Amino acid sequence: MKIGNGQQAVDNTKKIKLIVWRAKRAQGLDRLAGQTRLIPVGALCALLLIPCSSVPAQQPKKVPRIGFLMGGSSGRDSRVEAFRQGLHDLGYIEGKNIAIEWRFAEGQEAQVAPFVAELVHMRVDIIVTDGNQTTNVAKSETKTIPIVMASESDPVGMGTVASLARPDGNITGLSNLIEGLSAKRLEILTETLPGISRVAAIWNPENPQAVSSFEEEQIATRR
């Protein structure tokens, strides 16, 4: 099975990284210093924009299909339009030379797994996810379809990827890299208000990212 030549893979890898980065920028996440970092993309991501096998010239060119999965709602997330715009800027127009299967769980965690299963059954060329839960569910459902995570706080700590330098498997994308920031914020707060003795923290015990941040804060208060 031909994936394409090396230069095609590199060019298409850059495109998908740029598209997802633009989508994150629409939310302003890139304004947090040191928060966003690229995870190296493997050759699998070239599947997004190039055919999976050689086809005779007389046959119509395959239109790539992206599965876009979000845990929230399309009406409240600017990344949706940013993603479309990023594709458009690179010459890919939805409904013309690229297809997008949009799936939104509307905050219902129980909907994520069925949506992933549906996308896998449809054999989309790539799945774009928006966070820890959607990424991990997609990972559990497929080992072959490339997964691009658009926003994940601690992919290594969550066991999503082996490391940032070598994610391995079929997952790549962007990480918020917020690990350690909670303790740093508390440190800055105590430096700004040296007489402070009590600090309240509001967190969601059902969110792994929030649990990790709260534990960091607890450790920082004991120093």
| 103-139 confidence digits (pLDDT tens) | 999 888 899 999 999 999 999 999 999 888 899 999 9
pTM above threshold 0.85: no
Same domain, 186 and 147: no
Same domain, 27 and 74: yes
Q: How many domains does one find in the chain?
A: 2
Specify the pLDDT at position 161.
Answer: 87
Specify the pLDDT at position 7.
Answer: 53
Scored b (16 or more CB within 10 A) or e, 57-86 reads: eeeeeeebbbbbbbbbeeeebebbebbbeb
Whether 1 maps to a domain, the answer reads: no
* CATH assignment at residue 91: 3.40.50.2300
Residue-number span of the structural domain to which 154 is assigned: 6-175
Higher pLDDT: 115 or 32? It is: 115
Chain centroid to CA 20: how far? 7
Structural tokens at position 143: 């080992």
Same domain, 12 and 65: yes
Same domain, 111 and 197: no
Whether 208 maps to a domain, the answer reads: yes
Cα gap 179→184, rounded to integer Å: 10
Same domain, 196 and 171: no
Same domain, 217 and 159: no
Tens digit of pLDDT for each residue in 37-63? Answer: 444 333 334 344 544 444 555 566 889
Same domain, 36 and 134: yes
